[in-house]
Amino acid sequence: MNEDLPRNEDYDAALDEAIGEALEGQPRAAEWFQLKRALEKRRVLLQSELDITEDAALRDKLRAELAQADEHIAVLEEEAEITSFVEQTVRFASEVRRLQQG
């Protein structure tokens, strides 16, 4: 087996298509991580607002929003990790096939 087998655009396109099929139209891991980072930035802003506000009702609302953001961040992290695993599995299987054929 030669690990230095060349890759071509057709192979990369087929691999990309196989990953898309395995994910059944769901976002890629990079997209999940990007969504998570965006929500983490939003969470920082909510925490900053909570730190400076003195209004009790607003503080309660912000605490609830922070709790919800924390839940969503955890879900996004889990989705990203699962999706990353699926993507890596497809890549591995594809590489094994490519090396066996090479």
The pTM score is 0.81
Residues 49-81 have pLDDT tens digits of 999 999 999 999 999 999 999 999 999 999 999
Q: What is the pLDDT of residue 39?
A: 98
Residues 2 and 60: their CA atoms lie apart, in Å, by: 62
Contact criterion met (CB below 8 Å) for 87 and 15: no
Q: Which two tokens stand for residue 14?
A: 């087929």
